[in-house]
Structure 1
């Protein structure tokens, strides 16, 4: 470790941050402006990856900025996004469409909004569909029900899938961990089963299998970053698997992902921040420069809301406002 044990608890900048680099402020504000302009009246975002998870990613980008979610500039955007996510939920199963990826990210965003958004303002005089807490409780139950039908203890694309992969499992697990951190009742068994699946999928060299349930079998920085993050947030930093995956990613800070690069940056930012603050600082500076150079003139990234929201969240640890970013 580059910091002695206990140093993070002594340094308030780790939790609260310091001065925000100007290039981060510029990229973030332009990105939020674009997201606000592309939000539908119903509260969602259209594009190639429509669904509750994309709405959740965009919602988190607004929540992470530090603007007051109830009375700030983007408070109407926050409320519209939350209403869209809650309305999209199946009232019986609790499923947040349109895949378990979406379910995980939407659950994560609801957890980050829970307790921060004033629900007396959320429905703006209209009839409430359900509270954020009720939506979260349903989503947690859906994840638990889906896991019971899955022999691996994880999740795949659909609630009734019987196979699992570490990418979808990581997304759902982060939603559950955030819900638990927010004070929701999440069964320990559900989290423990998913963590065991992630551990079984991790090789001694820090590589993480995509599927099949046994460690290694293909190097992927994405999956190693996800495994590092879920181990850190679930307070298993003393495990051999965490040490292996952290070593795997900190030795490859110059890595450029050829595909799913926004997804990679999103998880790499959080994994490094949780695991090795000095490495995160180095990686963050390089990422801020890269995003500043690739952001379109209108403030967007890539082809739509997903790429833009994920790119902003890769920089959001500079602000430290989301509860899931606490270290």
Structure 2
């Protein structure tokens, strides 16, 4: 996988190589055990065709991409590692789900942009490590087409909705916008051409959704500042190239600190869309080496006791695959294997 320049051990004249952890403090054995059980659960619940699904058989594309990301965080790829076969099956399923118009998913799914965005994220991380000529060719085709579809699906305001702008009457909202921005940036990092205008318009959309206090609203039309979307927006803006020196991002980050962590009650004090919130907020916290150890201590203390005997986390209405994939990803961020999550 691609390795950031910041991960070069320049003082020793050494360079990190693929499949080597980028950041490794001594891992808590309880965390390691929980992650192993969670990933084994995902392996057991993968369908023969290569996909995972949420409750009621929903969101197959999104669940497959999120589960695949959790497995990549362990260090496995399509070519090597304990979960290589599982990762290959997931990749092949998503490649097969690519439509002629570039959408990765079902057009009949009224939330298909989530799966499309998460799939761009996952498949772009696979591309750099893919050694199979045929699979690499297919990945390049799918990712190039998926980027074009995202551009086509963008609304006149620069955001995205649950479906493309033309299918959804130009409706847009914050959470789907985040998945597109991060997915597009991941594709660009992997060498897939992405028009700068698409990213710039999306960044402006996020800014236009931000309140004076720094919270990001549900949509440009209003809906109130929401901590989960704000956390996701900070992660997306980081992915898009806006870092701490951006006054706008700093304001959003301050809003997160007041409403998510480290607020007075800690992260447990926030109850709405908890897993979605910390999936993104953990990515933000990981970028700051000064706060990550304390955040990880707090978040793992909340996650670990809730794990079921099966290895899953049975929380929320979306389903066990969703919560398990997200928790496993959070607990593995400091492995440093996945380029988009790296410092």
TM range (shorter): 0.7 to 0.9
**Aligned with residue 211 of structure 1, among 203, 206, 219:** 219
Alignment of 1:82 with 2:91, yes or no, is: yes
**Aligned with residue 107 of structure 1, among 110, 117, 120:** 120
Q: Residue in 2 aligned with 1:232?
A: 238
Give me the whole-angstrom Cα distance separating, in 1, the residues matched to 2:253 and 2:10: 22
C-alpha change, 1:277 and 1:239, in structure 2 (3 Å) is same
**Aligned with residue 314 of structure 1, among 319, 330, 340:** 330
Q: How many residues are treated as equivalent by the alignment?
A: 311
Give me the whole-angstrom Cα distance separating, in 1, the residues matched to 2:10 and 2:248: 26
The two structures, once aligned, show a CA RMSD in angstroms of 2.6
**Structure 1 residue 9: deviation in Å?**
9.7
The aligned runs of 1:3-152 (5 Å cut-off) are 15-48=22-55, 49-97=58-106, 98=109, 99-120=112-133, 131-147=138-154, 150-152=155-157
Secondary structure of 1:180's counterpart equals helix
CA deviation map 1:10-51 (0-9, x unaligned):
999x95333322222111110000000011111001332332
Q: Residue in 2 aligned with 1:242?
A: 249
**Aligned with residue 301 of structure 1, among 313, 316, 326:** 313
Q: Residue in 1 aligned with 2:3?
A: none
Give me the whole-angstrom Cα distance separating, in 1, the residues matched to 2:38 and 2:93: 20
Q: Residue in 2 aligned with 1:3?
A: none
CA deviation map 1:223-282 (0-9, x unaligned):
1111211222222222221011112223432133323221111011012223x3322321
Q: Answer whether contact 1:69 1:78 (CA < 8 A) is retained.
A: yes
C-alpha change, 1:81 and 1:68, in structure 2 (3 Å) is closer
Secondary structure of 1:278's counterpart equals coil
Give me the whole-angstrom Cα distance separating, in 1, the residues matched to 2:30 and 2:134: 33
Secondary structure of 1:222's counterpart equals helix
Secondary structure of 1:210's counterpart equals strand
Give me the whole-angstrom Cα distance separating, in 1, the residues matched to 2:253 and 2:157: 24
Query: TM-score, with normalisation over the residues of structure 1?
Result: 0.88
CA deviation map 1:155-202 (0-9, x unaligned):
000122211111110011110011111111011011110010001111
Give me the whole-angstrom Cα distance separating, in 1, the residues matched to 2:323 and 2:73: 16
Runs of 4+ in 1 over 4 A off after TM superposition: 8-12
CA deviation map 1:259-315 (0-9, x unaligned):
3221111011012223x3322321111111211100000100123211111111122
Give me the whole-angstrom Cα distance separating, in 1, the residues matched to 2:194 and 2:203: 14
CA deviation map 1:113-137 (0-9, x unaligned):
1121323485xxxxx9x61111111
CA deviation map 1:189-216 (0-9, x unaligned):
11110010001111232211111257xx
Structure 2: runs of 5+ lacking an equivalent: 1-5
Secondary structure of 1:16's counterpart equals coil
C-alpha change, 1:83 and 1:146, in structure 2 (3 Å) is same
**Aligned with residue 279 of structure 1, among 249, 273, 291:** 291
C-alpha change, 1:175 and 1:33, in structure 2 (3 Å) is same
Alignment of 1:262 with 2:267, yes or no, is: no
C-alpha change, 1:232 and 1:247, in structure 2 (3 Å) is same
Q: Which moved more, 1:44-53 or 1:104-113?
A: 44-53
Q: Answer whether contact 1:151 1:163 (CA < 8 A) is retained.
A: no
C-alpha change, 1:224 and 1:326, in structure 2 (3 Å) is same
Structure 1: runs of 5+ lacking an equivalent: 1-5, 123-127
Give me the whole-angstrom Cα distance separating, in 2, the residues matched to 1:19 and 1:86: 37
Q: Residue in 2 aligned with 1:166?
A: 174
Q: Answer whether contact 1:100 1:157 (CA < 8 A) is retained.
A: yes
Give me the whole-angstrom Cα distance separating, in 2, the residues matched to 1:219 and 1:255: 18
**Structure 1 residue 68: deviation in Å?**
4.9
